[in-house]
Amino acid sequence: MDGRLNAGTGATAARPNPGGRSLHRFANPGRFLRATGRLMPILWAAALLVLGVGLVWGLVLSPADWQQGETVRIMYVHVPMAWLAMGGYTGLAVLSVMSLIWRHPLADLTARELSPVGAAVTALCLATGSLWGKPMWGTWWVWDARLTSVLVLFFLWLGHASLVRSFDDPERGARAGAILALVGFVNVPIVKFSVDWWNTLHQPASVTRLNAPGMHVDILYPLLVCALGFTLLFAAVVLARTRAAVMERRVRALQLARARREEGAAA
Amino acid sequence: MTRKKRRLMILLLAGLGLGTATALTLTAFQDNLVFFLSPSDVLAQRPPGERAFRLGGLVEAGSVERHTGADGRPSATFRVTDGPSAITVTYSGVLPDLFREGQGVVTLGKLQPDGSFRASEVLARHDETYMPPEVADALRRAGHWNPAQGAAPPAASWNTAPRQPEGRSGG
């Protein structure tokens, strides 16, 4: 992975890839940096705008719930975090497939930068859920199928983040991480359907169900806006981290090249 | 190309194997994965009295009796129902805020020789309904929903209802 990423660091960075199929077009780090460089300001602006609107709508303007009262507002953070924890992990699984089958170097790098953000989002989901559970259920935590499977998801994120960083050879770390991520993917449908397959203390889905959402539109719409805002923010953070990682590798490769040149001149 | 195809096939086969193994494991442990038993389950299985388990269901309308013990500790007796069957639950301690008739609850405790359930913990179970107070009031006034009798009517009938109904003074 290192070698291929660094191959584009010299003056030949912009060399077009004539036979490049769409997937590998962005394996060229120079092209990736240029394309995402234009995208980043738009993404940050959209994330902050949508999130600002969603949070003001949800936390201030939307109505309370008839029996939860104001505590319902925790949901405007909790539910987007839960969706991102599962959606982000699905993204990690897709990146892992790309890494294992097509040996796509940028997929490895993105997966490495994605997992700490995914762990943070899952931790926020667990923490906000616990804060809601104490006043509503009467307990911070129970070992029901939904809560336990989300805790397992959190450990999978942490495990992936530490596994890919624990090898001297980053390519071997990426391979091991990809296998862990794909094995752990069985947990995602378990998280999603735990509330339908078994009886749990956690309530079933309100929004993504076959009949009409069990949520009044004055609560549902701000929730959807918050979810979109948090998703944009998540994407912006992960992309910014990936760009930084690509640039870090370029700097390291240039330093290495210069050190070799100086060594050669001294000899 | 063939190497990529081979890797894809290996991945698909491994995924299929892992998925099947997980599905079989989860099916085998079905009984241990449920968080609580319904009153019908309990009456059918009759768990031994020394074993603590969780009983869950709705608080039956009109069944709640609250007492205060000699030491000032609150206690309560209520019936937990799942429709076909119901079990009487006794509990001493503070009930959660969400506890009311018609609400879902999960209680932890042991079955007594007289068939009642002595709970050491009562948790309220929220359902998947999120409704502004005005809409809930309108449904109650119109007679479409009595929260003490159970779940809200189908969501499509209220989830786009205006929050300030025009008949507010007349209702």
> Which amino acid belongs to residue A163?
L
Mean pLDDT computed over A29-48: 92
Asked whether the beta carbons of residue B123 and residue A220 sit closer than 8 angstroms, the reply is no
Q: Is the dihedral of CA A222, A225, A231, A232 positive or negative?
A: negative
A87 touches chain B (CB under 8 A): no
- What are the chain A neighbours of B98 within 8 Å (beta carbons)? 67-68, 136-138
Mode of pairing for the β-strands spanning B74-81 and B104-111: unpaired
Mean pLDDT computed over A14-25: 50
Q: What is the pLDDT of residue B145?
A: 84
Which of the 8 DSSP states describes residue B113?
A: T
pTM: 0.86
A71 token code pair = 């505590």
d(CA B44, CA B39): 9
Mean pLDDT computed over A125-152: 93
Q: What is the residue extent of each domain of chain B?
A: 1-30, 36-158
A211 token code pair = 């009949």
pLDDT digits (tens, 9 = 90+) for A237-255: 999 999 999 999 889 989 9
Choose the closest CB to B35 out of A200, A217, A220. A200
Choose the closest CB to A198 out of B11, B35, B129. B35
Q: What is the pLDDT of residue A224?
A: 95
ipTM: 0.83
Q: What is the pLDDT of residue B158?
A: 84
Choose the closest CB to B124 out of A138, A182, A220. A138
d(CA A4, CA A8): 7
Q: What is the pLDDT of residue B167?
A: 45
Three-state SS at B64: coil
Helix (H) / strand (E) element for A183: namely helix A170-184
Say yes or no to pLDDT of A5 above 70.
no
Q: How far apart are the CA of B57 and the nearest CA of chain A, in angstroms?
A: 10
Q: Return the CATH number of the domain spanning residue range B36-158.
A: 2.40.50.140
Q: What is the pLDDT of residue A92?
A: 97
Asked whether the beta carbons of residue A136 and residue B34 sit closer than 8 angstroms, the reply is no
Place of tokens 């104490």: A134
Q: How does residue A86 score in pLDDT terms, banded at 50, 70 and 90? A: very high
Q: Tell me which residues of chain B have a pLDDT lower than 50.
A: 166-171
Say if residues A95 and A114 touch (Cβ distance below 8 Å): yes
Q: How far apart are the CA of B134 and the nearest CA of chain A, in angstroms?
A: 8
Considering only alpha carbons, which residue of chain A is nearest residue B98? A136
Mode of pairing for the β-strands spanning B65-68 and B86-92: unpaired
> Which amino acid belongs to residue A72?
V
Say yes or no to pLDDT of A140 above 80.
yes
Q: How does residue A214 score in pLDDT terms, banded at 50, 70 and 90? A: confident
Q: What is the pLDDT of residue A10?
A: 41
Residue/partner pairs of A245-250 with CB below 8 Å, 24 or more apart: A245/A109, A245/A112, A245/A113, A246/A5, A246/A29, A246/A32, A246/A33, A246/A106, A246/A109, A247/A33, A249/A2, A249/A5, A249/A6, A249/A9, A249/A29, A249/A109, A250/A6, A250/A9, A250/A29
Helix (H) / strand (E) element for B53: namely strand B53-59
Q: How far apart are the CA of B107 and the nearest CA of chain A, in angstroms?
A: 11
Asked whether the beta carbons of residue A186 and residue B19 sit closer than 8 angstroms, the reply is yes
